[in-house]
Structure 1
Amino acid sequence: MMRVASYNMRKAIGTDRRRRPERTLEVLRELDADVIALQEADRRFGSRASAMPLSLIEEHSDYKPVPLGARSGSLGWHGNALLVKKHVEVIDKELVHLPSLEPRGAVLADLKVNGMELRVVGMHLDLSGLWRRRQAHAILAHLDARDGEPPTVLMGDLNEWSVRGGCLREFGHRHRIAECGRSFHARRPIAQLDRIMVSEALEIVESGAHQSATARKASDHLPIWAELRPL
């Protein structure tokens, strides 16, 4: 069994408009997932430093960032980052360029979780439906081009308001989509913008949106999670 999660942390700015990285970290601790895909993990301007100080993560949680090496002081790339429990082995990692009008990308890591190899992709897709579909094609093509076919988890903020259409149709041809429920807006969720999708080698045992009091304040998105096991 393993637990994965995805969280658009909104640069650690809560629904009270205050930037409180300690509060964001508390949500991550509540999730207690083996692997977490983050979106909007870095500040948007200037040096684009991590919205959560790296020292805060290392000293006050069981997590470590996958070292993407995209920019000094940043947690991720184009805001996308992957955190893993400290016992998880990082075998390989890669930045995935996505077609877009504004800078967009995805992050990929090959991991060993509880003795099992796992490929994880974290993403934050475009607001435009046309570009989302193109980005889905790019991610799937990139997966096809990589060596091996380990069990794979794709997760992130897809910005897809449709329940089954749009880019979900592209991903759904070869992946199961977890029923995590509505995650946006955190105070009163009305849309399933955040998604976890898995390859056929994985079973989705349980999934949902994390709705603690802290999570409802820490971002405008609720984090989502899924319990998985190999078939």
Structure 2
Amino acid sequence: MILTVATWNIHAGIGRDRRLDLARIWRVIELIDADLIGLQEVVLTDLHDDLLIRWAQAAGYATHFVTTRAGPLPGSYFGNMLLSRLPLTEQPSLDLSVPGRERRQLLCAEVTHQSQRLAIWVAHLGLKRWERRYQVERIHAHAHAHRAGDHPTHRLLIGDFNEWWPGPGTLRSLHQSFRRLNTPASFPAHRPFMALDAIWLAGAIEFIRQDAIDHPLVRIASDHRPIRAQIVLADTSKLGSHA
């Protein structure tokens, strides 16, 4: 069975027309129609009963949110969110913060798909190259630790990596733990030419196809386009060894 995963930076729900419109964000999420969706720059006014959470749960998604900092409104929260149609187990987040820079957290979770366990991590890296270099080294070390013990052999790392330059460069450490799909450009949404958003795979995962979703709503709802991919998890019990 094919599994559809996606990542999207929703720009706090504020579109290119400078309007805050969560209903528009949700309509795009419906267009994405993925089993797993990692969202960045999410603002919640309530950690348990926010409008976005209610819409997601009504559509059959489990939700997991990790706060990175206070939101723009009094009492609000800013961070990363995972929407999952699969059974979801929350895992402790990984602090990627660099002193003097905006706080960053790696959202970590585990889902089950046809008896196969899949670790899924949602990231939003910093704007400075040296900042991102530190953060990817932290993620690489976290992935290396996951190779031992009772951890899933399948892993997905998705999100906004803020890497403007092509080639391994700042993200070199990640290539030791993951393989990056040749992601299409996603930024800016109305005329993308930079592949800031990406999907990385580890383990026995077969890649089917991917696309950057284009639609009139997508071009205005955020400054990023969603990236979506279709994958298949190999049954590692039948392989006889961990991939």
The TM-score normalised by the length of structure 1 is 0.87
Please say if residues 77 and 105 of structure 1, whose CA atoms lie closer than 8 Å, have aligned partners that are also in contact.
no
Match of 1:42 in 2: 43
Find runs of 4+ consecutive structure 1 residues off by over 3 angstroms: 46-53, 67-71
Structure 2 residues without counterparts, runs of 5 or longer: 235-243
TM-aligned CA distance change 1:171 to 1:228, over 3 Å: same
Cα deviation, residue 186, structure 1: 0.2
Match of 2:32 in 1: 31
Structure 1 CA distance for aligned equivalents of residues 140 and 25 of structure 2: 30
1:22 corresponding residue in structure 2: 23
Q: How many residues align?
A: 224
Q: Which residue of 2 aligns with 1:228?
A: 231
CA distance in 1, matches of 2:128, 2:68: 25
Do 1:78 and 1:104's aligned partners in 2 also have CA atoms closer than 8 Å? no
* Residue 134 of structure 2: aligned partner: 134
Q: Which has the larger radius of gyration?
A: 2
What letter corresponds to residue 15 of structure 1 in structure 2?
R
| Distance in 2, Cα, partners of 1:50 & 1:139 | 31
Q: Secondary structure at the match of 2:111?
A: strand
1:42 is displaced (CA, Å) by: 1.6
Measure, in 1, the Cα distance between the counterparts of 2:5 and 2:139: 19
Distance 1:114 1:52 in 2: 30
Aligned-pair distance for 1:102? 2.2
Q: CA deviation at 1:108?
A: 0.5
Distance 2:49 2:126 in 1: 21
Bigger mean CA deviation after superposition, 95-104 or 122-131: 95-104
1:112 corresponding residue in structure 2:
112
Alpha-carbon offset, residue 162 of structure 1: 1.4
Contact 2:117 2:152 in 1 (8 A): no
| Percent of aligned pairs with the same amino acid | 30
RMSD (CA atoms): 2.7
Distance 1:52 1:135, change over 3 A: farther
Closer/same/farther in 2, CA of residues 170 and 78 from structure 1, 3 Å limit: farther
Shift of residue 165, structure 1, vs aligned partner: 2.7
1:77-96 alignment to 2 at 5 Å?
79-85=79-85, 88-96=86-94
Partner of 1:98: 96
- Matched with 1:63 is 61
* 1:168-198, Cα deviation, whole Å (9 max, x unpaired): 3221223221123000000110100001000
Query: Is the 8 Å Cα contact of residues 96 and 105 (structure 1) preserved in structure 2?
Result: yes
- The amino acid that maps onto 2:89 is I
Question: Which stretch of the first structure deviates more once superposed, 204-213 or 61-70?
Answer: 61-70
Distance in 1 (alpha carbons) for counterparts of 2:113 and 2:25? 24
- Confirm or deny: 8 A CA contact 1:92 1:109 kept in the other structure: yes
